[in-house]
């Protein structure tokens, strides 16, 4: 069987790795590198050599069983991993002191936790069980009648920054997704995140290196997909063609929408469903100057958020991970750029609205029809690495249930 996989992000690569040796798989990737949103840059800072992530940078240390099993399967064991604090400082532009200063190892006690700490803590304790995926975050927040400053500059700021949407759009996001990231911000114990010392992109290259029968073509941007009698024809921007019987679209929803033939447009078709996923641009810089963190170093967390002009943007301090002051900052809406820049990159971030959650379920019902499969962050879970891997496992299980590599990963 010939399988075409469009996109060599983590979802497409996991699919290819699982299908390897079971069929003839070809992965077509537009960029010259694999990894998708996992983009790592090497650099030497203050004599310390490191690989710094510009996009995907971490997974939850205790909730990433698929990611952990995958790392083990490709030989990236504990020596390649580090657990680092996931702490938060929330500020509002124009305020002298942050609104909330989360726990961080060795933070001096005299610093305090900021005026929003107690309110945020009692809100998060009062939320109770995780709500259903379809409940909008605004419906969870409203009954608490919180001070607007706490609501907008803390509770709405973190999701606005993660998903690149205006603060005003956060009430329409799925509360379940939003709370996945918010729950730890006012904990007495510091939550931990797991990083790959060799960079998140190294998992993508490790997967690619283990392919034996599957082929990856980089620099092959698929321009359109045509339906044939026994499958699909993939045509890239150079005119090169690839005929397949099964097609896996492991690209963001708007790209999948653009690629599919117009004949699939009626109600209840993939095209109809894919339109419901929306994305926002996010621009990041890796830099050395502390442009967007508080002046007082004792207030720094690994994630430093500032809300300004209806947006919220984060500056990640990589000091606790690498021992050097390197920052990864969102610069999509900042008034001034950082000065000592190592690298920049632009991404598209999915807005996990309750409508997107509904679309995800509608898409699940269409999976595999006419040999067409959808993989990627938007098809399941909160849209993180774990979700993208789970989506690849799901597709591979349908195409090649006897793949021996499936046994190496837990059932999502
Ligand atoms: C800036 C940013 C940071 C993130 N950080 C984290 C994090 O720290 N932890 C976490 O768990 N999740 C994070 N995420 C979520 C992230 O989206 C997922 O973790 C995961 O990387 C998504 O993988 P994917 O394979 O679904 O899609 P992508 O990574 O988007 O891969 C899609 C691939 O398809 C390719 N492609 C697109 N169009 C075409 C075409 N026409 N032809 C051929 N190829 C094409 C792209 O070049 C890309 O390689 C982050 C997301 C963003 C945007």
pLDDT tens track, the chain, 412 positions:
999 999 999 999 999 999 999 999 999 999 999 999 999 999 888 888 889 999 999 998 878 899 999 999 999 988 999 999 999 999 999 898 999 999 999 999 999 999 999 999 999 999 988 899 999 999 999 999 999 999 999 999 999 999 999 999 999 999 999 999 999 898 888 889 999 999 999 999 999 999 999 999 999 999 999 999 999 999 999 999 999 999 999 999 999 999 998 877 777 788 889 999 999 999 999 999 999 999 999 999 999 999 999 999 999 999 999 889 999 999 999 999 999 999 999 999 999 999 999 999 999 999 999 999 999 999 999 999 999 999 999 999 999 999 999 999 998 7
| Nearest residue by C-alpha to atom 12 in ligand 1 | 384
> What's the CA gap between 273 and 173, in Å, rounded?
18
Residue of 7, 13, 58 with the most ligand 1 atoms within 8 Å of its CB, for mutation: 7
Q: Is 392 in the pocket of ligand 1 (CB under 6 A)?
A: no
**Cα distances (Å, whole numbers) of residue 323 to 44, 45, 47, 89:** 12, 10, 11, 19
Q: Is 20 in the pocket of ligand 1 (CB under 6 A)?
A: no
| Nearest residue by C-alpha to atom 34 in ligand 1 | 7
SS (H, E, C) 273-312: HHCCCCEEEEEEEEECCCCCCCCCHHHCCCEEEEEECCEE
Beta carbons within 8 Å of 256's beta carbon, 6+ residues apart: 249, 270, 274, 374
Q: Is the CB of residue 252 less than 8 Å from the CB of residue 376?
A: yes
Q: Is 167 in the pocket of ligand 1 (CB under 6 A)?
A: no
Helix (H) or strand (E) holding 175: helix 175-182
Q: Is 394 in the pocket of ligand 1 (CB under 6 A)?
A: no
CA atoms within 13 A on the CB side of 230: 7
- Closest atom of ligand 1 to 236 CA is 42
- Closest atom of ligand 1 to 11 CA is 25
Packing angle, helices 201-209 and 65-73, rounded to 10 = 50
Ligand 1 geometric centre to CA of 213 (Å): 24
């Amino acid at each position: 069987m010939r399988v075409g996989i469009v996109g060599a992000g983590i979802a497409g690569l996991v699919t290819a790795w699982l299908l390897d040796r079971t069929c003839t798989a070809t992965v077509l990737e537009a960029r010259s590198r694999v990894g998708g949103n996992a983009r790592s840059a090497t650099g030497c800072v203050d004599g310390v050599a490191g690989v710094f992530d510009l996009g995907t940078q971490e997974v939850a240390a205790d909730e990433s069983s698929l990611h952990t099993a995958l790392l083990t399967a490709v030989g990236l064991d504990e020596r390649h991993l580090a657990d680092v604090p996931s702490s938060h400082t929330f500020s509002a532009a124009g305020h002298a002191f942050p609104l909330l200063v989360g726990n961080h190892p060795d933070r001096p006690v005299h610093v305090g936790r900021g005026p929003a700490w107690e309110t945020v803590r009692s809100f998060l304790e009062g939320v109770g069980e995780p709500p259903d995926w379809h409940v909008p975050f605004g419906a969870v927040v409203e009954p608490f009648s919180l001070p607007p400053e706490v609501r907008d500059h803390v509770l709405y700021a973190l999701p606005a920054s993660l998903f690149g949407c205006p603060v005003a759009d956060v009430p329409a996001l799925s509360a379940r997704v939003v709370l996945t990231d918010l729950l730890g911000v006012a904990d007495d114990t510091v939550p931990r995140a797991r990083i790959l010392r060799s960079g998140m992109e190294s998992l993508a290259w490790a997967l690619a290196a283990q392919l034996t029968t599957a082929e990856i073509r980089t620099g092959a941007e698929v321009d359109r997909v045509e339906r044939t009698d026994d499958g699909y024809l993939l045509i890239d921007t150079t005119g090169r063609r690839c005929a397949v019987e099964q097609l896996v679209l492991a690209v963001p929803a708007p790209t999948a929408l653009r690629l599919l033939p117009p004949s699939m447009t009626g109600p209840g078709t993939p095209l109809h469903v894919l339109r419901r996923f929306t994305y926002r641009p996010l621009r990041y810089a890796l830099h050395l100057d502390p442009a967007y963190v508080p002046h007082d170093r004792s207030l720094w967390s690994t994630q430093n958020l500032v809300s300004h002009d209806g947006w919220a943007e984060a500056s990640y301090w990589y000091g606790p991970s690498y021992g050097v002051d390197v920052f990864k900052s969102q610069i999509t809406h900042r008034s001034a750029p950082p000065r000592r820049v190592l690298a920049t990159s632009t991404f598209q971030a999915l807005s996990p609205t309750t409508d997107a959650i509904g679309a995800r379920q509608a898409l699940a019902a269409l999976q595999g029809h006419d040999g067409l499969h959808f993989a990627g962050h938007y098809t399941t879970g909160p849209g993180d690495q774990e979700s993208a891997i789970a989506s690849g496992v799901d597709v591979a299980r349908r195409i090649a249930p006897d793949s021996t590599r499936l046994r190496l990963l837990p059932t999502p």
